[in-house]
A = this chain, B = another copy of it.
Amino acid sequence: MTKTNPSFLNGVPELLVLKLVSRREMYGYEIVKAIQAETMQALSFGEGCIYPYLHYLEREKLVAVRRKEVEGRVRHYYRLTPRGRKRLEHLSGEWNRVSAGIALVLESQHA
């Protein structure tokens, strides 16, 4: 899976979800809103993108879930597992490489 283009430029949602749940337990709907708010509306991934990701991450044991009843509604709180932390570290490293690479081209004055 370690290719030159690490599925970034697509897989950004996975990175953001992992990062968000690494800070504290969060539930799906909250994550959707947090991505909009914290990126200052630069990004917005729909529920149809985030929920499937959460299910995938759970299957892969990168996050763990806990059901919790709050005000009559059931929320699914996700938190990072140790495996998830490793994955997060890996993905953010790749993101840094990719965005640095793009910056190199965009900021070049040469020729």
Contacts and interface: CB of A to CB of B under 8 A. Distances in A.
A104 B39 contact: yes
Nearest to A38: B105
A95 interface: yes
Interface in A3-41: 4-5, 8-10, 12, 15-16, 19-20, 23-24, 35-36, 38-41
Contacts of A39: 98, 101-102, 104-105
Q: How large is the interface on A (under 10, 10 to 19, 20 to 34, 35 or more residues)?
A: 35 or more
B95 A20 contact: no
A4 B95 contact: no
8 contacts: A9-B10, A16-B102, A23-B111, A35-B105, A39-B104, A43-B101, A99-B99, A99-B102
